[in-house]
Amino acid sequence: MITADDCRWPQGQYGLPTRNGKLKEVDRFDVAFFNLHSKQAHNMDPQLRLLLEVTYESICNAGINPIKLKGTKTDVFIGANGSDAQNVFSSDPQTFEDYRPSYTVDTACSSSLLALDCALNALRNDSCHAAIVGGVNLCFRSQTSV
C-alpha cells in the first residue's frame, strides 16, 4: 500500500512526502457480484464502490450472512468527507434498498467518529437493533492532503 510512485500526483508536489499510502486498483470492482450494470458501477463514486466491498467483507467476517440482514432494523451510518459526501448513498439507493435509513455524515476529519456516535445513539434510543458504521476518504488530488 505504501508507494513511491506518482500514479495520482507528482512526487514531492506541495512538499508532500514522496512515499505515501495509496490503495491500488481503486477502479476495479466486481459488478456481477453486486448485481450492478457495468455502466452504473463506472459512474458510481469510487468511495461508494469501496464501501460496498468493505461493508460486505465486514459483515461476513463478523459471522453474519448479509442476506439475513434484509428486513431487519439495521441502519447504516457512514462518515465521508468531500463535496460528494452527501451523495455517497443517495447516488445509488438500489444498492442499499435492503437497509433501513442510511445516513452520511460529513464533518471533515471527524466524520467517521460522528457516524459512530450517531449509530450508538440510535441503538440506545432503540430506533434500530443493529448498525453498520463505516468511514471512507479517498484522496485523488494532492491538494486534499495539503
- Tell me the domain boundaries of the chain: 25-145
Distance CA 80, CA 37 (A): 24
More confident call, 61 vs 100: 61
Maximum alpha-carbon separation in the chain: 50
Least confident of 2-6, 15-19, 47-51, 100-104: 2-6
Residue type, 102: S
Residue 90 has pLDDT above 70, yes or no: no
How does residue 99 score in pLDDT terms, banded at 50, 70 and 90?
Answer: low
| pLDDT of 64 | 94
Is the pTM for the entire model greater than 0.95? no
In order of 10, 99, 123, the CA distances from 117 in angstroms are 37, 19, 10
Residue type, 47: Q
Which stretch, 23-37, 95-109, 131-145, has highest mean pLDDT? 23-37
**Mean per-residue pLDDT over the chain, rounded:** 82
Which stretch, 38-47, 56-65, 80-89, 136-145, has highest mean pLDDT? 56-65
Percent over 90 (pLDDT), the chain: 32
| pLDDT of 93 | 47
Residue 18 has pLDDT above 60, yes or no: yes
Q: The C-alpha cell of 10 is what? A: 507528482
| pLDDT of 87 | 59
Least confident of 23-27, 72-76, 109-113: 23-27
75 and 125 in contact (C-beta within 8 Å)? no
